[in-house]
Amino acid sequence: MEVAIFSSTPYERKFLDEANKAGHHKLRYLDVQLGPDTVGLAAGFGAVCIFVNDKADAPTLEALHRGGTRLLALRCTGFNNVDLEAAARLGIKVVRVVTYSPNSVAEFAVALLLAINRKVHRAYNRTRDSNFSLDGLIGFDLFGKTVAVVGTGKIGCVFAQIMIGFGCDVIGYDPYHSAEFEALGGRYAKPGEIGSKADIVSLHCPLTPETHHIINADMLRRSKPGALLINTSRGALIDTEAVIEALKSGQLGGLAIDVYEQESSLFFRDLSNEIIQDDVMQRLVSFPNVIVTGHQAYLTREALTTICETTLQSVTAFEKNEPLENEVKAS
């Protein structure tokens, strides 16, 4: 089957080619994002493969349908960038990668936590300038601290397990309670407990209308002074302007994010020779207690292998008119 792959990168192409080594599919790599201005590039392709910042709204899906596309394959777990109702109306099947390597994202969240707490990013920059002063680099022991895990799915459970290994008291928030989370030693928070007790809050939930800006000004006002916030899930879980105000006042002790609300215009490209026009991002990176990485939490060999293999398996199943195990449907 012919597949147009948007937002493709050189490192992804290597793993996709390996997953397609038998040559069952003809892959056309496109380094641009899918959207109204680029959808014409998909004309004639029965399947289109997209990533987290590609735009599959109703007008784009309608254009894909006119061009002959009948399968939209997401090489990611989240699907908040797809209008599922429009896809269903048009008869376009949508598949995703339900799970790839929860360890990759959870371990990266821990790396961000350790780095922001112990000021690793600042120490690294200092020593490169032969500055070995320790002033301003004091952190705190994780042992005995309260860690709130918002979203206790597969990734949240792996993160919780690691935090329990550090000797933390782990509390969770999720509308759907996980027996696995509780078996690990986590417990679900009582109303208001995350704000009042959590020294660390780590986000591992999907982006839905209910979770949009789950971290907002009101929540931050009620949070424990000096708490650290980690986000490796979706950028719009956080009201970035509210977080900036909490950082300025000292209410929030530190922020480490691998995702950003307006990341689609920035991430996955080299802008080092350009002037960044995003004032909010510029304000964020100006804080000494903020770390921003460019959506790399999933980026391990194991995760990329699974993502690419699962995506192409779904394309094969669609081509053979077999059941789509990873299909996403409008609720």
The pLDDT tens digits of the residues spanning 182-194 come to: 999 999 999 989 9
State yes or no: pLDDT of 229 exceeds 90.
yes
Which strands form 47-50's sheet, in the order they lie side by side?
26-29, 2-5, 47-50, 71-74, 93-95
State yes or no: pLDDT of 16 exceeds 90.
yes
State yes or no: pLDDT of 45 exceeds 90.
yes
- What is the pLDDT confidence band of residue 101, given thresholds at 50, 70 and 90? confident
Amino acid letter, 208 = T
Task: With beta carbons less than 8 A apart as the criterion, state whether 156 and 149 touch.
Answer: yes
Cα separation, 249 vs 311, whole angstroms:
45
- pLDDT for 99 equals 84
Average pLDDT of span 39-50: 97
**Residue (of 233, 221, 225) closest to 155 by Cα position:** 233
pLDDT tens digits, one per residue of 48-88: 999 999 999 999 999 999 999 999 999 998 899 999 999 99
- pLDDT for 235 equals 96
- pLDDT for 78 equals 87
- pLDDT for 225 equals 97
* Residue 177 a catalytic site member: no
- What is the pLDDT confidence band of residue 306, given thresholds at 50, 70 and 90? very high
State yes or no: pLDDT of 221 exceeds 90.
yes
- pLDDT for 328 equals 95
Residue with tokens 């000494």: 288
Domain boundaries, the chain: 2-100+300-319, 102-292
CA torsion sign for 171, 177, 178, 179 is positive
Q: Which CATH class is domain 102-292?
A: alpha beta
Give the predicted TM-score (pTM) of the model: 0.90
CB neighbours of residue 285 within 10 Å: 10
Cα separation, 57 vs 40, whole angstroms:
15
* Residue 18 a catalytic site member: no
Judge if 2-100+300-319 and 102-292 fold alike in CATH terms: yes
- Please provide the average confidence, as pLDDT, over all residues in the chain: 96
- pLDDT for 85 equals 97
Percentage of residues of the chain with pLDDT beyond 90: 95
Give me 133's structure tokens. Answer: 């002063």
Cα separation, 96 vs 114, whole angstroms:
31
| Catalytic site residue from 75, 107, 234, 261 | 234
Average pLDDT of span 233-243: 97
Architecture of the domain spanning 2-100+300-319: 3-Layer(aba) Sandwich (3.40)
- pLDDT for 331 equals 79
Percentage of residues of the chain with pLDDT beyond 70: 100
| Catalytic site residue from 295, 309, 322, 325 | 295
Alpha helices in the chain (DSSP H): 10-19, 58-66, 84-90, 102-118, 120-128, 154-165, 179-184, 193-197, 217-221, 240-249, 279-285, 301-319
**Residue (of 55, 53, 52) closest to 42 by Cα position:** 55
Average pLDDT of span 4-24: 95
State yes or no: pLDDT of 147 exceeds 90.
yes
* Residue 121 a catalytic site member: no
Task: With beta carbons less than 8 A apart as the criterion, state whether 204 and 230 touch.
Answer: no
Give me 313's structure tokens. Answer: 């398996």
CA end-to-end span of the chain, whole Å? 29
In DSSP terms, which residues pair with 173 in a beta bridge?
Answer: 150
| Catalytic site residue from 12, 107, 261, 263 | 263
- pLDDT for 290 equals 98
Residue 167's contacts (CB-CB under 8 Å, 6 or more residues apart) are: 142, 143, 144
